[in-house]
Homo-oligomer: A and B are copies of this chain.
Amino acid sequence: MGSLQTDALDFVNADGFQVNPLDPEEFRRQGHMVIDYLADYYRDIHKYPVRSQVNPGYLRKRLPSAAPNDPEPIEAILGDITHDILPGITHWMSPNYFAYFPASGSTAGFLGEMLSTGFNVVGFNWMSSPAATELESIVMDWLANMLKLPECFLFSGGGGGVLQGTTCEAILCTLTAARDRVLNRIGREQIGKLVVYGSDQTHCALQKAAQIAGIFPVNFRAVATTREDAFALNPAALRDVVAADVARGLVPFFVCPTIGTTSSTAVDPVKGICAVAKEYNMWVHIDAAYAGSACICPEFRHVIDGVEMADSFSFNAHKWFFNNLDCCCLWVKEPSALVKALSTSPEYLRNKATESKQVVDYKDWQIALSRRFRSLKLWLVLRSYGVANLRNFLRGHVKMAKHFEGLVAADGRFEVVVPRTFAMVCFRLLPPKPEESGKANELNQRLMEAVNASGQAYMTHAVVGGVYMIRFAVGATLTEERHVTKTWHLVQKQAGEVLASRT
């Protein structure tokens, strides 16, 4: 980032004026450079340590303390990305990335985002760019059909789909709609009586949404799960907690079953939970953030049986559906509940289309006013790969996880902690001697850190039922079976060292 006086001249035309920052030919030139930069990045990505190895504060030491006064050329910026940014990136796109839930970006997802960014429309209502709204509605119907969602979630059935950024937003919107639906009935001043339900395995998104929406923190219930139920929310246990709350004069209003919990991909029983919800008139939001996409495969669709009894359903297309971040698909049965809770109608947005009531104005289905043209990437993913291949991609990930599960099971030093359901294996190293059982968690902590510190693979952990386990989540787009096998050998090698060095 030295002096760039000479290069800076590139940015100034013959009259000494700055070239327009959206000059088409300059856009073309620089755009091609960045495409090549990223294509090379994907080609060479296996060479980088998967988990970044930097220490806190590394970047401030490398960058100047103020923005430059004069322009700097793209060549210099890309050089700095290589030297200063890449070392600080944890490579979510790496084939050796098995942490959290992987982010399954793809070429089509990327191109869709490029087109959206390039058109740069702000699609708050139909009028502001009709194609942005209409394509979203169409693609959400396509996807609903792929998932075999009941007609009541489609526009033709009086429901509808909308793209949110994340599950957190989807839950906040539906929870707010549910809150207002009940408060409009029983009175705003009853807000302190409203109770929200999940399990102790439910994603923190639910708690956060409840906090933001003003639900009293004491009225958030994380129903305890057990190993016997494979850490799924037990409807009978839910009913007990709900009944106790009702007996105390509280008002249950929202329950959030999960399809594929973050810790162990547990599947909460939708039918049983919906039955309890029906008794108590609660809104059911199904959070299928991770595993919802698997429902396009007939062999997995049963995990959401009963969805017709729910009020809303969401999954993250940026998680296991080849869309780049961010893209959360939300369907609701009763869009008017969202609109009542989230709409505002200032004069400066008034227009004939809205007044005709023939159009959807998605601003009233979400938190923000402005919104990106996210459906383009979903459309490109669906079309570029096709339904048959998308199923095969997902099955490929499941097959690789199964392969890893087999490798774990074949090595007596390890155990698979909870049954594998989708493309994640939860395993741990067993303490060699019975008297070491108290040190099992520490042992696995050390094993995981050793694997991650090697830079050759990255995985993260969870604790369920007091057991620390390593989560091996297949889903990064570039992962092939050879990466899985090689990573297993790495785990075995590190386990040998950890076992040898224990005291």
Contact = CB atoms under 8 A, between A and B. Distances in A.
A143 B67 contact: yes
A428 interface: no
Number of copies: 2
Contact of A130 (B43, B52, B480): B52
A36 B28 contact: yes
B131 A72 contact: no
A95 B348 CA distance: 21
Contacts of A39: 24-25, 27-28, 31
**How many interface residues does chain A have, given as a range?**
35 or more
A14 interface: no
Interface string A244-257: 00000000000000
Contact of A205 (B11, B70, B207, B369): B369
Interface of A is mostly: helix
Contact of A107 (B21, B176, B211, B263): B21
Interface stretch (A119-127, A232-240, A299-307, A399-407): A119-127
Interface string A120-161: 111000111111101101110111011000000000000000
Contacts of A386: 8, 67-72
A172 interface: yes
A369 B134 contact: no
Contacts of A203: 346, 369
Nearest to A213: B214
Given A24-B43, A74-B384, 11 more contacts: A27-B110, A34-B111, A58-B130, A59-B135, A67-B382, A71-B384, A88-B131, A105-B120, A203-B369, A263-B347, A325-B370
A500 interface: no
Contacts of A126: 56
A63 interface: yes
Contacts of A110: 27, 31, 114, 117-118
7 contacts: A28-B39, A31-B110, A41-B118, A57-B358, A72-B383, A84-B131, A325-B372
A278 interface: no
A107 B22 contact: yes
Contacts of A367: 168-169, 172, 208, 212, 367
Contact of A77 (B114, B204, B383): B383
Which of A8, A211, A218, A388 has the most chain B CB within a 10 Å cutoff? A211
A102 B205 CA distance: 33
A344 B198 CA distance: 15
A93 to B, nearest CB: 6
A141 to B, nearest CB: 8
A418 B217 CA distance: 47
Contacts of A437: none
A393 interface: yes
